Amino acid sequence: MDSFFFSLMLTGNSILLLILQQHIIEKEIVVLIFLGFVILIWICRVIITIILQWFGIYDLIFWIQLLVFLGITIILIIPFISIFF
């Protein structure tokens, strides 16, 4: 149950960052620090989930988690790409 609420919190924070995208583009330092923190938490969560396999279906779960990880990383990096290019 804790994993559900943790995922809900991360999803809410990610949606909040998508709403605050204009502030990220304007390079407001507080929003950039918050964005970096959420990216770090998402990356750590996915790495831990990949290492700790609970279901025993290693191949399928691994590829699904890897694709989700790459998708989330790309979504979270988009504001930085729009800032620098």
Q: What is the pLDDT of residues 9-63, one digit of tens each?
A: 777 777 877 787 777 677 777 777 777 777 787 777 777 776 666 555 566 677 7
pLDDT-derived band at 67 (thresholds 50, 70, 90) equals confident
Q: How many domains does the chain fold into? A: 1
> Could you tell me the residue range of the domain that residue 12 belongs to?
2-84
pLDDT attached to residue 79: 72
Contact between 35 and 72 (Cβ < 8 Å): no
> Can you say whether residue 56 is alpha, beta or left, with left for phi > 0 and alpha for psi between -120 and 50 degrees?
left
Q: Has residue 1 got a pLDDT over 50?
A: no
